[in-house]
Amino acid sequence: MELAYYSDYAVRLVNTEEPARNKDSLTSVEVIRELFTSDSTTARRATEADVPRLRAVRARLRAVFEAADAAEEAQAVDLLNSLLLEFPVSPQISGHDHRAEDGTPLWHMHLADHTSNATAGYAALASMGLAFHLTEYGVDRLGLCQAAPCRNAYLDTSTNRSRRYCSDRCATRANVAAYRARKRLETDRSANTGRSAETAQESSTPNER
């Protein structure tokens, strides 16, 4: 797997919680193992003790996205650096899953399974993946969904840095809400214009009528 593969690890973990809706899906060992998306040694090492540990890492990763979303670039970098220092990766050169047409391996960087516990392993992958995305594309490519009350994290890979929502569903919901708000405003303006005309007519003198 190339380093870009790990970029989504942080997003998956952060989005296990929806603070505004008071929802938290990070509740079991099974959920933790699903976050890894592969049957790795680190995933199999997960225990119930990793639930609160990963929740703590999740809060720190969300803080990185919140700082980036607020255009606090230095703060976002500092927060991410603290995670990188605490959860170092173990890089390896690998070619087992990428081969040329003639069968020769295409060598690339791979992050090996962590030897400590599931939380340390996942945090290392998530932090390194997020750091790769940040340095490759910019701090402003880390975002939080603008379709309230959703505040899910996302990584902006659009060509014009225009992404504002975590999913097509949230984008549609926000567009519908904006359309309805415009229609209400137009209706209110029309009603106010009508009332103003009636008031002006009622206040006119008999001669003017």
List the domains of the chain with CATH numbers.
Answer: 2-142 (1.10.3300.10)
Residues 171/173/177/179 CA torsion (nearest 10 deg):
60
- The per-residue pLDDT for 151 is 95
- The per-residue pLDDT for 206 is 57
Instruction: Report DSSP letters for 39-82, one per residue.
Output: --HHHHT--TTHHHHHHHHHHHHHHHHHHHHTT-HHHHHHHHHH
- The per-residue pLDDT for 130 is 96
Q: What is the pLDDT along the chain (209 residues), one digit of tens a residue?
A: 567 788 899 999 999 999 989 999 999 999 999 999 877 888 999 999 999 999 999 999 999 999 999 999 999 999 999 999 999 988 888 776 677 888 888 887 777 776 679 999 999 999 999 999 999 999 999 999 999 999 999 999 998 888 999 998 999 988 887 767 777 777 777 767 766 656 666 666 555 54
- The per-residue pLDDT for 204 is 61
* Sequence-distant (≥ 6) Cβ neighbours of residue 78 within 8 angstroms: none
- The per-residue pLDDT for 66 is 98
With 0-12 / 13-18 / 19 or more C-beta atoms within 10 angstroms meaning exposed / middle / buried, residue 72 is middle
Q: Are 68 and 76 in contact (CB under 8 A)?
A: yes
- The per-residue pLDDT for 205 is 54
Detail the DSSP E strand segments found in 68-138.
Answer: 91-94, 108-111
Report the alpha-carbon distance of residue 26 to residue 31 in Å, rounded. Answer: 6
- The per-residue pLDDT for 77 is 98
- The per-residue pLDDT for 194 is 61
Report the alpha-carbon distance of residue 165 to residue 171 in Å, rounded. Answer: 6
